[in-house]
Chains A and B, each alone.
Chain A
Amino acid sequence: MASPPETARPQAPGVHPRPFWSVAPASDRQAGDAVVSNFALHWFPAKALKDSLAWRYSLWLGTISAALLLLLTLSGLPLLFLHVPSVERAYGSVKDIEYVVTFGYWIRSVHRFAAHFMVAAVFLHLARVFLTGAYKNGSGGNQHREWNWVIGVGMLLVTLFLSFTGYLLPWDQLAYWAVTVGTNIASAVPVVGARIRELLLGGRTIDQPTLIRFYALHVVVLPGALAALFAYHMWRIRKDGGLASADRASAPTASVEVPAGASKTYTLLGIARGTGPTIRASSVEARDTTVNSVPDLTRRAAIVVLGTVAFVAILSVFVHSPLEEPASALVTPNPAKAPWYFLWLQEIVTDTTIRIGSFTVNGAFVGGVLLPGLLVALMVAWPWLDRSPAAAAGRWFPRTRRTQNLVFLLLVLLVLALTFVGTFCRGPYWRLYWPWQAWPDLPTRI
C-alpha cells in the first residue's frame, strides 16, 4: 500500500518521537515534551519545584518504598515459578530454592530483604509525612491531602499483611506458629471472630486450604490492592498540587514577576482543581525555584531507585535467608518469635490480658484487636483532628505542631522499645533476659 507523503500525514498528538526520553534535553521545549509525551514519564510534572526535590525534606522515602515494591515484584516472579504451594511440598521447594536452584538463594534473599526494608521504608515515609504535616492542606484550594494520608495508612497495612502472608509460604515452623497466633488473634474479634478465622484458614485447622488461601492473597489479591492504592496515591499527589513543601515554595508571597517567556508552550501537566497554588505561573515557573523534570527529577529518582536496587541486590549476595524446621503442629518453638515488625504486637498481646474480679478479657482481644485498631483509627482520623495552621504543612518540626509531633515520636519510641524487648530480651517461655544473659539449657522437644 502506498503511504501518503510524510508531511501530509496527520501527527498523532503528543506522542514522543523517541521511544524513551531525552536524557539531556537541548531546550525547555524538549524537556517538557520528554515528560508530557512519554509513556514512562507522563505521571511526572513537566517542571518540578526545587523544594520538592530536596533530599532533606522528603528523604525520598516514598520513592524508596516504590523501588522496593518494584524489586519485590521482579524477584517474586521467579519465586512464583519455583515455589509449590502445597503443605507437603512447600518447605521442600523453598529448601530447593535456597540450596539447589542456581542463584535461588540470592533471589530469595532479595525478596526477603526488600520485604523487610519495605516495611521499614513505608513506616519511615509515614513518619516523615506526619512530622512534616504533609497530610495537611496548604494554601491551595480544593486540596484533599488528608485522603492521601488515609490511602497511605491503608498501604502500610497492606504492606504488613503482604509480609505476614509471605513468611507463611515456606511452611516452616515460623510460618505455622505465626498462622496459629495470627488467626487466633482474628478469632478474638467479638461475635464474628470464629467465622473470620474459619474463612482465613479455610477450615478449623491449619492445613492445605490455609496455605493456598494465604498464597492467593500474597501473589494476587494483596499485590493487586497495593498496585491500585499506589496508582491512586500518586495521582492524588499530583491533584493536590505536589508535595506539601511545594505549597510554601509556590505560595503567593514568594511570587516573582516572570518576564513573558519567548516560547512558553508547555505548562504543568497536572493542574490542581480550582486555584491551586501550583498553577500560579508567577512562582511555579519562576526560574530560580523550578527546574525541568527531565533531567533533574528523573536523575534523582534514578539515583534513588538504582541505589535501592543495588543495596538490596549486593546485600543479598552476602546474607542468606533463614529457613526454620519444617512446620510441625507437634512442637511450638521456644521461644516462638514473630518477625521484628510484629514483635511489639507480640509484646502487647502478652501484657494486656485484663482481669477485673472474675471477669477476664483476653490479651488477644485487647492487644491484638482493640489497641492496634484504635491506633489505626487514630492515624486515619488524625488529619481531621490536627488543628494547626495551614502554614505548618510541609515543614519539619514546626512550632505549631510541636506537641503532636512529640506525642507521635513518643508512641514510635514506645513501639521501638517494645520491639527491642521482644527481639533481645525475651527467652524461652517468653521470660525476660538481658541481651547479654545466657538462656538456660532447655530441652527443645518434650
Chain B
Amino acid sequence: MSDKPDKPKDRREFLVRAGIGAGLVALGTQALASLRSLVPNVSYDSPTTVKLGPPGEFPDGMKFLPDQRLFVFREGTVFHAISAVCTHLGCTVRAEALSQVETRTVEGSPLKVTHRFLCPCHGSRYTGDGENVAGPAPRPLAWYHLSVAADDGQLVVDLARPVPRSFRLAVA
C-alpha cells in the first residue's frame, strides 16, 4: 500500500484501501490454498522398480511387457531393456520384426537388431536400438537399468533409471 504513487490523503482513505487490500490478499491466499490442495502429496503410482521374473523364463530375442511398457531383449545370457513409451507424446510403440537380423555397433558395443519400433499416434519410427529415425519423436527410446534381485534372482527393471545404450546385463 505504502509504495503507491498517490499517497492516501487521510486516515479514512488509507483504512479503506488497507481493508480492500487485506480482502484481496485473503481471497488470493485462499484461492492458492485451494489450488495447492489439488497437488498430490502422496503418490499411489505403481513402483518404478519392478521384478520381471526369472531370467531363464525370458525367450531368446524380444519380449514385450505391457504393464511396464517395456521391451526386454535376451541374447543368450545378456539382457537389455528398451522403453515402449514414445518420446514424442507418450503412446506405446509397437515392435515390428525385421526380415533379417542385423548387427550394429551402438555406442561402442555390438548389438543384434531384430526389430524396429513404430508409433501408432503420430508415426514416429525407431530402429531396434531405440534410435529415432523418422517422424516427430525428438529423442531415442529410453533404455532402462536391469539387475538381478539379490533375494530370488528375478530380473529387476528400474523405470526411473535410464542408462546409456551400451548397457548390458550379463546373467551368470
Question: A186-208: which have CB < 8 Å to B?
Answer: 195, 198-199, 202-205, 207
Docked CA distance A146–B93 (Å): 46
Chain B interface residue number, banded: 20 to 34
Indicate whether A331 sits within 8 Å of B136 (C-beta atoms), given known contacts A199-B39, A203-B43.
no
Q: Which residue of B lies closest to A205 (CB)?
A: B45
Q: Which residues of A contact B45 (CB under 8 A)?
A: 203-205, 207
Q: Does B31 contact A (CB under 8 A)?
A: no
B123, A429: Cβ atoms under 8 Å? yes
B95, A446: Cβ atoms under 8 Å? yes
Question: B47-104: which have CB < 8 Å to A?
Answer: 64, 66-67, 69, 87-95
A329, B120: Cβ atoms under 8 Å? no
Q: Which residues of B contact A46 (CB under 8 A)?
A: none
B120, A334: Cβ atoms under 8 Å? yes
Question: B5-49: which have CB < 8 Å to A?
Answer: 38-40, 43-46
Q: Smallest Cβ distance from B159 to chain A, in angstroms?
A: 11
Q: Which of A209, A362, A367 has the most CB of B within 10 A?
A: A362
Q: Smallest Cβ distance from B81 to chain A, in angstroms?
A: 16
A350, B138: Cβ atoms under 8 Å? no
Question: A265-297: which have CB < 8 Å to B?
Answer: none
Q: Does A23 contact B (CB under 8 A)?
A: no
Docked CA distance A199–B94 (Å): 29
A332, B138: Cβ atoms under 8 Å? no
Q: Which residue of B lies closest to A180 (CB)?
A: B90
Select one of A203, A330, A362 contacting B136, CB under 8 A: A362
Q: Which residue of B lies closest to A195 (CB)?
A: B39
B121, A329: Cβ atoms under 8 Å? no
Q: Which residues of A contact B46 (CB under 8 A)?
A: 205
Select one of B66, B94, B122 contacting A350, CB under 8 A: B122
Docked CA distance A181–B69 (Å): 16
Question: A169-197: which have CB < 8 Å to B?
Answer: 177, 180-181, 184-185, 195
A184, B89: Cβ atoms under 8 Å? yes
B120, A330: Cβ atoms under 8 Å? no
Chain A interface residue number, banded: 35 or more
Q: Smallest Cβ distance from A82 to chain B, in angstroms?
A: 27
Indicate whether A361 sits within 8 Å of B43 (C-beta atoms), given known contacts A331-B66, A429-B123.
no
B120, A353: Cβ atoms under 8 Å? no
For A396-422 the 0/1 string (1 means CB < 8 A from B) is 000000000000000000000000000
Select one of B39, B44, B91, B136 contacting A353, CB under 8 A: B136
Q: Which residues of B contact A109 (CB under 8 A)?
A: none
B91, A180: Cβ atoms under 8 Å? yes
Q: Does A226 contact B (CB under 8 A)?
A: no
Docked CA distance A105–B120 (Å): 30
Docked CA distance A180–B139 (Å): 18
Docked CA distance A202–B41 (Å): 10
Q: Smallest Cβ distance from A324 to chain B, in angstroms?
A: 14
B40, A203: Cβ atoms under 8 Å? yes
Q: Which residues of B contact A180 (CB under 8 A)?
A: 89-91
